[in-house]
Every structure is written in C-alpha cells, then in structure tokens.
Amino acid sequence: MRSEQEMLDLFLHYAMSSEQIRAVTLEGSRTNPNAPRDLFQDFDISFHVVEMDSFINNPSWIDRFGQRIILQTPEDMSMFPSELGRRFSYLMLFTDGNKVDLTLIPLDEAEEYCKEDKLMMVLLDKDGVFPELSPPTDEDYWVKRPTADYFADCCNEFWMVSTYVAKGLWRKEILFAQEHLHLIVRPMLMKMLEWKVGLETNFSVSIGKNGKYLERYMTVQNWQKLMSTYSDGTYEGVWAALFGMGELFRSTALDVAERSNYEYSLEEDKSVTAYLKHVQNLEPGAAELPCIS
C-alpha cells in the first residue's frame, strides 16, 4: 500500500506538470487533528483548474494514479442529481487499498471555496490565489446547542413516528416498520445523544459522520443499550428495538432537558408508550382499537 507521502507526491507531481492545474488542496479527515489515523482514510484532493473540459472529455488522465478496483463519477450519473455545481469529482478505489476522492474545481471559485470548510490545507498554489489560512479545525462539525423549540420538536417527532412503527408491526408490514424505525425514529435518538455529548463537552467536539465517534463519549451501559436497538429482522426483535430506543431516548432527553433548563413532556412520553404496548398486545385482525387511558 502506498504511503500518505507517496500518494500526495503522486498528485502534486502531476499538478506541477500541468499548466491547467494552478492549485491543489487537501480536505477531510487527513487534515483533521482530532481524527484517528488508519489505513482506510480517504485522500480528499482538489485540483483547482483554469478549465474543466480537457479533463472531463478525456478521462484517461486519471489512469496515471494507479490501477483501480472501481471508479465513480457522481456528477455524470443519472441516479444521483449533481450537487457540486460546476465541479466534477472522481471517486477511486485502487488495488493497493488507497481510496481517493479527487475533485476538479474551477479556479475562479477559489475564494469561495476556501470559506466552505475549515478542514482544508493548501498543498500547492502556483499563483497565490488562496489567502493565508488558519490551521485546519473541525469546529464547523462540533455539536450545536439546540433551542428549546428544536429540542421539543425532536421529542415530538420521536414519539409520533414511534406509533407508525407499531402500526406497521401490528399489520405485519415489517419493511414499513423498519423504514420508519431506522430512517426517522433513530435519527431523533441520535440527535438527542449528540446533544448530551455537546452539553458534557461544552459543545467543543464532533461525534463524526454518522456518529462514528459517539462511543467515545457514552458510558459502557448506554452504548450497550444503543447497540441493542439494532433489531434482528424479526417482529419480536423490532418491538424490542422500539421499546429499547424509547427507554434510551427518555433517559437522555430528561438529562438534556435538565442541563438545558428545557421542558420534557413526560405526559406525551407516557401516553405514547402506553399506546405502543397496547398495540403490541392487540389481537391480529382486531376490528377496533379500544380507548387507551
């Protein structure tokens, strides 16, 4: 596997030999002093170029960077709408295990680009187009303090959509239930756990993409509770995951509310939890749902 320096030298040497490439920047975890270093870290490289067409129309130029296992060019795909505007990216996994996300960026966007992300390092600037930048920092990704309304909305969304999961389970529509559990209910739980971390660290850390660093900041007991909410695909397993998420959400939200001087609606919590238990025990094919006190 080529080393970090070998990879950076590879891209810098090519950039130095090309008149079209006027600057090279490195972004992402390799610039982040708080990110753990390992062999799966991507190389997020950007070439700032005077024109794009000669690169895009003749993609063989990327072959010089090594033998690839797979290539993806998101801006040229029908399934995914482009989100980079005038920019164009090449996502490459090489046979030596190195992964590179290489982006072409019009040079006239340099001033705008350097304001977008504080995790950026200038490796080459032939014309001095980039201003002097502060050392890379992940502060843009630190947990943000919620407002009282945002906190209340998170709680309301968690408990409201929990009822959809229960409905799906009673109907034996497990895909519907799983979709709502993992795509709507779980993000509300993760958000609450994130806020707890923020309060405990004075909102000075990032828990990483998809909460990948969250375990660092949780007790062993709470981490095990969170892991137990990933269901096994059975109806019993999804019910257990739903109630487990409710317990963890409740204890975390009460803590966040107390530390933030916010109000947590225990009445809403208790009412929905009672409803979930009632639906769980409701006979299949029941014609009506009795009043729940």
Q: Provide Rg for the chain, Cα atoms.
A: 24
- Is residue 186 over pLDDT 70? yes
Under the banding of pLDDT at 50, 70 and 90, the label for residue 181 is: very high
Looking at residues 38-58, what average pLDDT do you find? 94
User: Distances in Å between the alpha carbon of 290 and those of 225, 239, 281, 282?
Assistant: 32, 20, 12, 9
Contacts of 57-62 spanning 24+ positions with Cβ under 8 A:
59/90, 62/90, 62/92, 62/102
100 within 8 A of 92, measured Cβ to Cβ: yes
Q: List all residues 6 or more positions away from 164 whose beta carbon is below 8 Å from its beta carbon.
A: 176, 177, 180, 184
Residue 34, both tokens: 């708080």
Looking at residues 204-211, what average pLDDT do you find? 93
Looking at residues 177-206, what average pLDDT do you find? 97
> Can you give the pLDDT at residue 293?
62
44 within 8 A of 80, measured Cβ to Cβ: no
- Is residue 121 over pLDDT 70? yes
> Can you give the pLDDT at residue 283?
81
- Domains in the chain, please, with CATH? 4-140 (3.30.460.10), 142-281 (1.20.120.330)
What pTM was computed for the model? 0.87
Question: What mean pLDDT, rounded, does the chain reach?
Answer: 94
Looking at residues 121-148, what average pLDDT do you find? 92
Of the given ranges (111-115, 138-142, 248-252, 284-288), which has the lowest mean pLDDT? 284-288
Amino acid at residue number 255: D
10 Å CB burial of residue 109 (0-12, 13-18, 19+) is middle
